[in-house]
Amino acid sequence: MARTVARHTFEEVMVPNYAPSDVIPVRGQGSRLWDQAGKEYIDFAGGIAVTALGHCHPELQQALVSQSTQLWHLSNGWTNEPALQLAADLGELTFADQVFFANSGAEANEAALKLTRKYARDHYNSDKHEIIAFNNAFHGRTLFTVAAGGQPAYSQDYTPLPPGIIHLPFNDLASLEYRISDTTCAVIMELIQGEGGVIPAEPTFVKGVRELCDKYNALLIFDEIQTGMGRTGSLFAYQQHKIIPDILTTAKALGGGFPVAAMLTRKHIADSFTVGSHGSTYGGNPLACAVAGKALELISNPTLLAGVRQRHTLFMDGLQQLNRKIDIFQEIRGEGLLIGCELKAHWQGKARELQRFAEQQGVMVLIAGPDVMRLAPSLIISYPEINRGLKQLAQAMLALKMGY
């Protein structure tokens, strides 16, 4: 049933909840993409922090091909070697004792939120059910996770939302101290609010959240869907803060582009997920876990992580140099290779327009809300590709400034 497809095919056959670019990429290699017309692009978007090792990394390809000749899928009535190996490796590299696998970040966060409520019910009482989240946060698109997210634009059409979720200002420890109580079962937070504008959590805030959770016997969930797997220059961002959560969720770059997610926790917490209390048909799929195992091996290499920090400096220096000349950003912020450039007041609301200009120039970027351009390229993007992409981005910035 092969047929010729083009951008107009989207309106004909796809549910219209996305508004994709007119460009259809058909091939990727490393940090470069080519569209149907053969035009080449430098990829500063990384599939929203997913393709951490670039497109079609040969070792990830080999892991997938090798596993595809052995075993594709089992029900969770059986386990499999790639899942066991990946779980053991994640535990060795983090605080965690045990792992639950899912397919997406939303599913990992759904599992984490459910686990905190069941843990509180098992160890305390049913009154201890409140979950504290933060304004501007993003935790996924399921009904539970969209309720936990702090952006009404994503949740307002789906009321009534699951109750018992409280939203507070991010980086405001006083408001948390005032509101947290013995009825709080969990606090969920991003260490860098990605979709919310690339806003890092302040170190004193992270430390204070941990202390308040301990005081009120609430579990602390770090949503590292976007910051995990080397994105900030350490394997997970919590390792830079030296604050250990009770639960951590990760996805996106975990499979380097193959769908897989994980919830990591300690054994005494995991024990509340008794047999049958939660599940996922595809969670722990052998193909996904084989690819993720190789991605974890490569990304956890200290040399690669040091390279992320070096590339951060190159990007920040380059962006600041461009902005000194073109002057459209009021702040450039972020950690590692998760960088946000917030537009000045005159250009507020035009981040998507800047994204379109960048694509025309041959560089793919992201947005994080209407006012922030976001970059999340491959962790191993080459220095020449960084320099070339920044030159193309400069032309896009000029186009926005000049109004064409």
> Percentage of the chain surpassing pLDDT 70?
100
Concatenated DSSP letters for 252-286?
GGGGTTS--EEEEE-HHHHTTS-TTSS--SSTT-H
**Is residue 322 one of the residues assigned to a domain?**
yes
Residues 219, 115 share a domain = yes
Residue 128, pLDDT score: 98
For range 145-149, the mean pLDDT: 97
Residues 281 and 310 in one domain: no
CATH of the domain at 49: 3.90.1150.10
Q: Is residue 90 part of a domain?
A: yes
211 lies in the same domain as 328: no
Residues 211-256: tens digit of each pLDDT: 999 999 999 999 999 999 999 999 999 999 999 999 999 999 999 9
- Domain residues for the domain of 33 are 7-57+303-402
Distance, in Å, from the CA atom of 264 to the CA atom of 277, rounded to the nearest integer, reads 17
Q: Are residues 344 and 276 in the same domain?
A: no
Specify the number of domains making up the chain: 2
- Name the domain boundary from 241, 274, 299: 299
Answer yes or no: do 240 and 310 share one domain. Answer: no
The token duo for 241 is 């803060």
Indicate whether 65 belongs to any domain.
no
For residues 338 and 259, membership in a common domain is answered with: no
Same domain? For 14 and 134 the reply is no
Alpha helices (H) in 199-327, listed in sequence order:
203-215, 238-241, 267-270, 286-299, 302-326
DSSP code of 157?
A: G
Does residue 209 carry a pLDDT above 90?
yes
Residue 2 belongs to a domain:
no
For position 403, what pLDDT does the model report? Answer: 87
**Residue 139 included in any domain:** yes
Amino acid identity for residue 118 in this structure: K
pLDDT above 80 for 19: yes
Q: Are residues 322 and 294 in the same domain?
A: no
- In this predicted structure, the answer to whether residue 205 has a pLDDT above a threshold of 90 is yes
Do 354 and 206 belong to one domain?
Answer: no
* 271 pLDDT above the threshold of 90: yes
Work out the angle at residue 378's Cα, subtended by the Cα atoms of residues 15 and 239, and round it to the nearest 5 degrees: 105
**Chain segment 366-394, per-residue pLDDT in tens:** 999 999 999 999 999 999 999 999 999 99
Which CA distances in Å does 12 have to 5, 15, 16, 132?
10, 9, 9, 41
* Statement to judge: residues 167 and 36 lie in one domain: no
Question: For all residues of the chain together, what is the average pLDDT?
Answer: 97
Tens digits of per-residue pLDDT, 154-172? 999 999 999 999 999 999 9
- What pLDDT is stored for residue 404 in this prediction? 67
Q: Does any domain span residue 64? A: no
What average pLDDT does the segment 12-22 reach?
94
